[in-house]
């Protein structure tokens, strides 16, 4: 299916929101503060997957944890079509998708409305000059703090040692509590029976076949809102 056809079908998916929000538009999304009551119509925890791409990991998480609501966020509509199509076809009730920029996150969610955030295989932006664009940089942590509950966690999963080392540096420099860290998820005995090991993205499966190690860290912001590099 071509991109234009996907874009057209995206407009018919009830699980996919494509709001027209820009830097100049300061209004909040109509579901802000109301995701539980008006969207999912339950009080289950809400987890976000930032940069979800095709949404395959979002779907796998939702199937593994049916009592958790998952929202996949990405700016590429042609990618989101895949996850949205599967969600609609299989009638998966605890998944939604949001087409927007991550920078607008606090327009969509209120403080304490989000219980957890997944950042799975993001662009590592390996150049030093681009480190501010890394989805685990202090600026993005500050943004996540505006929507994440005090007990909420952030989970990073990556094949990039540059990004992973940077993340650990930021986490430890800001003295953020670490739930776990692993330099080789699929060989770590502590993670063998968890979703970190059992669920893989399309990218991850390819990386594993190439002999790359998958790294992961889960940590909490514990109510902090300002972070240093």
Give the residue numbers marked as catalytic: 123
The 10 Å Cβ neighbour count of residue 109 is 23
Closest to 201 (Cα-Cα) out of 47, 61, 10? 61
Q: Sign of the CA dihedral 194, 197, 199, 203?
A: positive
The 10 Å Cβ neighbour count of residue 82 is 17
Give the alpha-carbon dihedral of 213, 218, 221, 222, to 10 degrees: -160
């Amino acid at each position: 299916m071509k991109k234009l056809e996907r874009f057209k079908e995206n407009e018919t998916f009830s699980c996919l929101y494509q709001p027209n929000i820009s830097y100049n538009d300061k209004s909040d999304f109509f579901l802000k503060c109301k995701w539980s009551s008006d969207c999912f119509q339950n009080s289950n925890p809400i987890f976000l997957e930032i940069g979800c791409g095709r949404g395959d990991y979002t779907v796998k998480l939702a199937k593994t944890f049916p009592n958790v609501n998952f929202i996949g966020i990405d700016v590429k509509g042609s990618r989101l079509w895949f996850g949205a199509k599967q969600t609609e076809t299989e009638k998966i009730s605890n998944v939604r998708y949001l087409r927007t920029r991550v920078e607008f996150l606090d327009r969509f969610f209120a403080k304490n409305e989000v219980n957890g955030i997944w950042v799975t295989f993001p662009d590592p932006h390996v150049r030093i000059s681009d480190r501010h664009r890394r989805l685990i940089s202090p600026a993005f942590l500050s943004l996540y703090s505006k929507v994440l509950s005090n007990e909420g966690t952030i989970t990073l999963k990556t094949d990039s040692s540059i990004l992973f080392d940077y993340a650990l540096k930021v986490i430890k420099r800001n003295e953020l509590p670490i739930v776990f860290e692993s330099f080789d998820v699929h060989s770590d005995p502590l993670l063998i029976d968890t979703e970190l090991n059992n669920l893989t993205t399309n990218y991850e499966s390819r990386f594993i076949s190439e002999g790359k190690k998958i790294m992961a860290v889960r940590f909490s912001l514990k109510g902090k809102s300002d972070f240093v590099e």
